Structure formats: C-alpha cells, structure tokens
Structure 1
Amino acid sequence: MNTSPPPTAPHPATPGVLDPIGSVPSWLPYVVGAAVLVALAWLIVIGVRYLCADTETRRSIRQAARIRRTWPRLARNLGLVTTDRTPTFLQSLATTGDKKPEPRTLTPKLHTKTDPYGVTVTVKTVPKVGLEEFQKRADHLADAWECTRVSVNPDGPGKLRIRAVRREPLFEPYAYTPDGKPPADLSVWDLGIDEYALASVLRMSNVPGVCVAGLPGYGKTSLINGLISRLAPSGAVQFAVADGKVSEAHEGDYADVVNRLFAFVGDDLEAANKLFDRLVKLRRGRSSSIRRVLGTANMWAKGPSTAWPLVVLVIDEAHTYFREYKGTDPATKRLAALAQENARLVEDLVKKGRSVGIVVVLATQKATGDAIPTFIRDVCPVSLSFAQKTTDAAVAALGEDIRNWPEANPVSMQDPGFVGVASMVRQGQEGYTRIRIPYVEPEHVARVAEASAHLTADPFELLTLQTGPNLTKDTDLDIIA
C-alpha cells in the first residue's frame, strides 16, 4: 500500500517575480523584443543614411565612427581627462568602514556631425580641460584622426566645436549659381568657404572700405562680380564702378553688369574725378539730412532700403586713378592734379561714408602706397589678398602681422591651385584665414544683372525725392553740410 502523499499541483508564478525554480519574468521577453526593435530601427536609419550619402561623406561617416570609438583612449593619452576624487552620493552610500571609493576619470563627451569635407565634433568640457587644453593638442588630434587640420573654437558655455578637415577644401574650385533672390541680410556678404570648409562671410555693417589685392588672374574681379551677383537682386543696393583697365562700359570685366550700375567710368581720370566728386556731394547731402529723413545718425541702425540704398563704389585697378605723375609739361601737370584730387575725394568717402551707407571697394595688384595712398588704404577695416610675389606686397595688403602667420601668407599661394583663394584677417578673432572664392559663370552674372536692371536707381535722385526739390546734383553741399 502506497502511503506517499499525493503530488501537489505547482503554484502559478506571481507575475513579475522569480519563482523558486528560476523561471523568467513574464514581461522580460517584451522588453527584450522592444530593445531589439529599437536597435534594428537605429541600424536601419544609420544604414540608409550611409547608403544615400556621396562617396566623400561616407568616408567622413567612417571617420566619425572611428573618432567616437577611439576617443576614450585617445583622451587619456593626450591628457584631455580629469580625475574626480570626490565620491558621488551613491558611492558614499555603498562605502563601508574605512574603505574609500575609487576616484573617477572624467572624459569629455563628444557628438559628431559629418559632411563631405570632414567631421564637426561638439565637445562638452570637464573641469580643468577646456578651450586652451584642446587648442594645445589640436595638431595631435589631427594626426590621430588623420586630418589635414583641426581647429578648436568655443561653442557656447561649457562646449567646444572641433572642426576636423579630412579633405583640403582650398584646392577644390567650386562654382556658385546665383538664384536671383535678394539676400536676407545686407550687412553680411557671403564670400565662400574657408580652409575648414565652413561658410565665410564679411560683416559689412559700419564698414566704409574694403581693399582687395593680388596678382592678375587670381580672382580679384571674380570676387567683385560674385558679390554684385549676390547683391544685385536687392533694390536696397546701388552700384557704381570705376574700372581702370578699360575705356568704355562695354569693355572688360563689368560689361555683363553695366545695366545694373547707376554709373560707370573707365580709365579717364577726369571722368573718374567727376564721379568721385558727385559721390562726395551725395555723402554730404546724406550727412546733412540723415537725422531728418531716417531719424538716426547712422543708416545701419535701420539698415539699407530702396529709398536710402547702400551705395557700393567699386574702384578696380585703383592705381590708375591715384598714381603720381611727374613732369613739367601742362598735360602731365593736369593729370597729376586730377590724381591728387581723386585721392582726396575717395579719402572723404572712405573716412566719412560709413554712417550714411557708402562702401568703397578698392582693387589693385599691389596695395602699396604708390597704388593706393596710405591715408586711404590704412582706414579700410577689411582687406583681402590673393597671391602675391613679395612679402612687402603681402604686408601692404594685410598688415605687418601677416609675417607671423606664414601658412596664410599670400606669398605661399602662387601655385595655380590657389587661383581663387584669398587670405584675410579673421573678423573678431586673432590671426588670418584663407578663403576659397566661388567661381560665378559670366552668363549667370549677366542673367542676374539683366533680371534686376529695373532696380537700378540714382541714389542722388532718391535723396532728392526725400529732401525736396531744392537739392540737385549741382547744389553746393559744402554750405548745407
């Protein structure tokens, strides 16, 4: 007779609690499944993004993955970490007796963003590891990440922006096709991309003069035509050109934009003198009426408008109008007097035209004192230089400090690969930068000029409409200014 007790039925496991024989919680498969789905979705997004990218961007994506993967070890090797010996709250709770918690190594966290030229790395700093420490190790980062160069700049409180350039942007010419739309902000002029493949702009608010120098054929006129094609669709900008290379408007580099200019003169010194004199009268008329018309002493406080446009005077081959003539015959004396008067008038525009909305762009091969008088050149706050033959020419164009920045010195840019590359002072920062100016096809420039020709207006006549019929082109503004 079997006296064993009858078998007991197993109790159902309480949901979410491990039973004595080690069965898994009922919710765990759902959590694992959800995690797997999320991981698969993330991998699909990454894969699609990689497959849709161009060849160069794919290389940058692989480079970014390597940067993230190797960063903890590289940061320790370069000393870009800090040791935190203060225990956290959880460490304090877990510590018993006299045992002290192990110090923690804090590594700056980073985030990457890719483009065809390289990777932009955003870094969150940690104590004792900030801007200065990263800048000192920029060359080591470039070597470790296999980059052409690396720059480190602030990116807000507690953040740094590291630009890692894998591919040299300066050696790759690129074209710009104007869309014919007016720029959103006339105080900022787009130039191109810098040596880190980042957009480069000129902040033109309150800038009275720009000096552009460089050897023939390296991009001076292309730069100016490109700027005109960007600004021409706005009726709040009016252009005048004095081109010392030609005699008539249909000749030379500005023939495609002549119908967008309210004035043009060639290499005739007397005609140039009349244009400069007329613009000085405009400057005086604006100075005398700006408070009454605009309600402010500085046009840039409100910005250019169609009624009070920004006036851009381009003086190409500027040495034509300022050169010293030596001789005692009447013809030479007359030319010498005109050149001196031209220099005086342009000096007036550069020194006094800022607040009333007049900008003078002077272009020449060598910005030495015999080409552009120093009393004009040295008050132009913005200077650019394409390739130069001598260091003296580079210093004349960019200032004495260019000797301390040999990598940006335009003397080193005489290789044909640097056609279209200019060097300039970093606005608001120390040092110099090199910029690749985009090439604009002449037919595109002509198309934009033709489409915007109806916007051309004489600024003097616009001023007359606002100040009354008593102000004419022949008014003696020395009296009313």
Structure 2
Amino acid sequence: MGYAPDALLVAVVLAGVWLLWTVVRYVQADRGTRVSMRQAVRVRWGWVRLARMAGLTVTDKTPSLLAQLTAQKDGAAPAPRVLTPKIKVTPDRFGVIVQARTLPQVGLEEYQKSARFLADAWRCTRVSVLPDSPGKVVIRGVRSDPLTTPTTHRPTGRPPTDLTRWELGVDEYAAGVCVSLANVPGVTVAGVPGAGKTSGVNKFVCDFAPSPSVQIATADGKVSQASEGDYADLVKRMFAFCGDDLDEANALFKRLVELRKRRSSTIRDVLGVKNMWHAGPSPEWPLTVLIIDEAHTFFREYKGSDAETKRLAALTAENARLVEDLVKKGRSVGILVILISQKTTGDAIPTFIRDVCPIGLSFAQKTVEAAVAALGEDIRNWPDASPVTLQDPAYVGVAVMAMQGRPGYTRIRTPYVSDADAARVAEDTSHLTADPDLLLDALLDTTGGRTMPDTGESDNTPAPLTK
C-alpha cells in the first residue's frame, strides 16, 4: 500500500504529459486536421456500438478461463462473449485512417461490405477498405474530397532518394500514388487543353532535376523556341530543346537514337550488365528522358502532291520510326520517352508507339473514344472512373490511370508547381545539365570500353542541338 501514492502520482504526470502533447498537436495543426482530430475521437468512442450495429462483431460461446472459474464458484453457466475488433485511429487533413484487426467471420470482405455504413456514421464522403498486414485491414475515411481540393507542391531542391519512383500525387482517399520507372520505356499523357497535362510533367522535371543521374531533352510542339511556352522556366535544366520545327525535332530524335545505339553496343563492357536498371542510373550513365509535348505535331500525316508536303510527310514518318526505336529498344539502356497529346488516338500517336508504353495517364477527356485510346478498352467497364467525368473545372489537375495491384482505375490529384518554383529549381540545378553523349565518351575513355563501329549511315553524327 505504501507504493499507491507514488503510482498515482506517476499516472497523473503521464496523463498530464499526454494531455499537453495532444493540446500542442491540436493547436499546431491546420484547420482540416483539427476537424479530423475531433472526428477521430468520435470514431474511437463510438466504435464498439457501431461495430455491433454494422455486424462487425462475433459471438464467442467458449468462455474464458476466468469465466469458467467464476461460473464454477457461482454455479451459473457463463454468458457468451461479444468480441469487437480493436482499432487504432490516425487523423490527417482529409479524414481518418483506421487500422482494425480481423476476427473469425469478420475479415476483409465483411469490412468492405460495411464501408457505406461506416461512411454515414463517420460523416465521410467515401470510405475504402484495403488489406494491411496479416490479421489487419486499413479503413480510409475521407471527409473532404481530395480530388476537388487543389494542392501545391514546393520542390525541395534535393535529389530524390529513389530514381525509380515517380510520385504523381494523391488518390481519392488522399493516399500517395507513385509509379515505378524501372524498366519503363514510355509513358503517355492525354487530356484536353488546360486539364493539367504539362503541369504534371513539370512536377516530374522539378523533382528529378536535382539529380545528376537524370538528363532531360524536350520537343514541344506548342512553341517555336525555348523562351516560349510551358518549359521556358525549365529549359536551363535540359541538354536539348526544340520547338515545332520538324527538321529540328527530326535531328533531336536521330541524336537520341544514335545515343541508344552506342549505349546498346557498350553497356556490357562499361556497366557489366545487359540492363542499366540492374545497376541503376548514375551521373556517368544517366536516365535520359525525352519529353515530346503535343506529340501529334511530330507524327501527323501530311497529304498532298507538292514537294514540300511530301518532304514533311517523309519527316513525320521518319520521326515515328525514330521514336518507335527509342520506345522499343531504349528501356534496357536507360532511355524513357514521355509522350503528351490531347488525344492519344492512332492519328495523334501511332499505335505501334502508344501500345508499347506501359504507363498511361489521362486527364479530362470529352469523348469515351478518347478515354479508350488513352487507357484501354477496359475503361468502358468503369464509367465512374472515366476521364470523361473530369470536365468540371474542379477536376483540373486530376488524372486517371490503371495501377498495378489495384482493380479498375485510380483517380489522382496531381499538385500544382508554381512557375517561380520551377524557375528556381532549374536555375539552381542548371550546372548539372550534361549531354549524355559526352558523358558516354568520358566513361568510355575512363573504362577503356569500345565504341559502336561506324555503320556508314549518314545520321550517325547528327549536328548537336543547342537550347
């Protein structure tokens, strides 16, 4: 009994510390998180009652050892126990994340069937249930819709820790969405003008620009020179840039195809592997990204009998052949092509290029046919996720894509990167810009690797493009 006052004092101190910590967290939180913190309290306090009403409890007719001993002493039959899953609730800006345990006959399927009841009880816009670790599920309830809540992204200016991860944004449950770029030869991005296509790619450039293991070239079909358009602030971090001039674009594509050929012929000698992704990008052998914006500009079919039209038709046909080479053969040597167009139908991006790109994103579209071209026929079976439903101005910056490991399609809110931040990142990282061809020359000189033998083709040494 002599320890009771001390134990009580310790309990009071711990309770006071916990209360103070909770108050400090509440004061420092933003408005949305404060609402979620109050919501989390209601979820915890009302869980036992709600679980019973939603059928998320199980009756255990086998008495515990204590109940058996008590029953033997009193001479009464022990009453069955009603077991309620234990939960842990975490609030954030958009709602609550509930980690719940499973019970016999109360598993993932039962939680998913009860999702709409949980949404009503917790006053959430939507609730999702996904498996967590064995014996646990994660229930995500969002009070406000992340898809209609514009978000901004301020680049840190620090190199990414993992060059295989492209962090796109958050899904409709405010969970982070990222895709792996390892062994990806191409990405297609579609959507009507002003839907957020270029902004999403700008974030990609800003996030990867601080790494010397990434080099970027761009062909922008919307402008005539580098000082114009959406990439004017980022061009300092690009080793090559061209506008809508078909001759310049053709020279750039030839230049990158020759880089692909040289890398293919020297990769084993220089890196000791057949696939660059087995070693990873490096400053000497960087991931080389080609961004082709308004891609239809460089692939369109010209029809006519005059000499100039025939010349342009031959150029666009060759452009398609060159980009096909990069997409089909550039994966293992670290070349990634990002193709952006309003519609990714066959007349905008040839199907022999589009269908090889494993990652496809679509912002708002006006027709189902355009959505199918961007995402595949299966999007017809998921009308609620179709980019046709994203035409409201509230959905500017929202894209749809198929995610590996998830059924159907995922809608993603991509954050906005301001022009000032983009210009700051490009300026601060401009010293990292390097021509991959020159880097390969230096690497071959260092390692004593061989170069690709001269084939005698006229396009082996294209004239270098300047920014």
Q: TM-score scaled to structure 2, two decimals?
A: 0.92
1:332 paired to 2:332: no
Q: Paired residue for 2:243?
A: 266
How far 1:217 moved relative to its partner?
Answer: 1.1
**Would you say the 8 A contact 1:284–1:477 is kept in 2?**
no
Aligned partners of 2:454 and 2:392: how far apart in 1? Answer: 50
Residues 47 and 454 of structure 1, relative CA distance in 2, 3 Å threshold: closer
Residues 35 and 462 of structure 1, relative CA distance in 2, 3 Å threshold: closer
1:457 paired to 2:434: yes
How far 1:30 moved relative to its partner?
Answer: 4.6
SS in structure 1 of the partner of residue 231 of structure 2:
helix
How far 1:45 moved relative to its partner?
Answer: 2.9
1:211 paired to 2:188: yes
Q: Paired residue for 1:138?
A: 115
How far 1:423 moved relative to its partner?
Answer: 1.3
How far 1:31 moved relative to its partner?
Answer: 4.2
Q: Paired residue for 1:75?
A: 51
**Would you say the 8 A contact 1:213–1:386 is kept in 2?**
yes
The 5 Å alignment of 1:339-350 reads 339-350=316-327
**Would you say the 8 A contact 1:464–1:472 is kept in 2?**
no
Residues 444 and 31 of structure 1, relative CA distance in 2, 3 Å threshold: closer
CA offsets 1:346-377 (integer angstroms, 9 cap, x no match): 11111121111111000000111110111111
How far 1:470 moved relative to its partner?
Answer: 6.9
Residues 83 and 52 of structure 1, relative CA distance in 2, 3 Å threshold: same
Structure 1 residue ranges without an equivalent (≥5): 1-15, 17-25
1:222 paired to 2:165: no
Q: Paired residue for 2:269?
A: 292
**Would you say the 8 A contact 2:261–2:452 is kept in 1?**
no
1:384 paired to 2:369: no
Residues 28 and 443 of structure 1, relative CA distance in 2, 3 Å threshold: closer
CA offsets 1:381-438 (integer angstroms, 9 cap, x no match): 1111111111111111111122222222111111111111111112332221221211
Q: 1:353 aligns with which of 322, 330, 335?
A: 330
Q: Paired residue for 2:339?
A: 362
Residues 328 and 70 of structure 1, relative CA distance in 2, 3 Å threshold: same
Q: Given residue 187 of structure 1, which amino acid in structure 2 is its aligned partner?
A: T
1:406 paired to 2:415: no
Q: Paired residue for 1:57?
A: 33
Structure 2 residue ranges without an equivalent (≥5): 461-467
SS in structure 2 of the partner of residue 253 of structure 1:
coil
CA offsets 1:320-365 (integer angstroms, 9 cap, x no match): 1111111222222221121111111111111121111111000000
Aligned partners of 1:80 and 1:306: how far apart in 2? Answer: 54
SS in structure 1 of the partner of residue 332 of structure 2:
coil
The 5 Å alignment of 1:147-296 reads 147-296=124-273
Aligned partners of 1:221 and 1:335: how far apart in 2? Answer: 26
Aligned partners of 2:440 and 2:397: how far apart in 1? Answer: 38
Q: 2:420 aligns with which of 415, 432, 443?
A: 443
Q: Paired residue for 1:431?
A: 408
Q: Given residue 46 of structure 1, which amino acid in structure 2 is its aligned partner?
A: T
The 5 Å alignment of 1:297-336 reads 297-336=274-313
How far 1:70 moved relative to its partner?
Answer: 1.2
The 5 Å alignment of 1:83-122 reads 83-96=59-72, 100-122=77-99
Residues 476 and 99 of structure 1, relative CA distance in 2, 3 Å threshold: farther
Q: Given residue 336 of structure 1, which amino acid in structure 2 is its aligned partner?
A: A
Q: Given residue 86 of structure 2, which amino acid in structure 1 is its aligned partner?
A: K
Q: Given residue 202 of structure 1, which amino acid in structure 2 is its aligned partner?
A: V
**Would you say the 8 A contact 1:285–1:477 is kept in 2?**
no
**Would you say the 8 A contact 1:148–1:166 is kept in 2?**
yes
Q: Paired residue for 2:373?
A: 396
Q: Given residue 118 of structure 2, which amino acid in structure 1 is its aligned partner?
A: L
Q: 1:48 aligns with which of 24, 46, 70?
A: 24
Residues 475 and 238 of structure 1, relative CA distance in 2, 3 Å threshold: farther
Q: Given residue 435 of structure 2, which amino acid in structure 1 is its aligned partner?
A: D
Aligned partners of 2:234 and 2:454: how far apart in 1? Answer: 28
**Would you say the 8 A contact 2:116–2:127 is kept in 1?**
yes
78-87 vs 148-157, which deviates more? 78-87
Residues 437 and 282 of structure 1, relative CA distance in 2, 3 Å threshold: same
410-419 vs 321-330, which deviates more? 321-330
Number of aligned residue pairs: 455
Aligned partners of 2:290 and 2:313: how far apart in 1? Answer: 22
**Would you say the 8 A contact 1:351–1:379 is kept in 2?**
yes
**Would you say the 8 A contact 1:366–1:396 is kept in 2?**
yes
Q: Given residue 72 of structure 1, which amino acid in structure 2 is its aligned partner?
A: V
Aligned partners of 1:266 and 1:55: how far apart in 2? Answer: 45
**Would you say the 8 A contact 2:152–2:415 is kept in 1?**
yes
CA offsets 1:251-310 (integer angstroms, 9 cap, x no match): 211121222111111112222122112211211211121111111111111211000000
Aligned partners of 2:450 and 2:180: how far apart in 1? Answer: 36
| CA RMSD in angstroms, aligned pairs only | 2.2
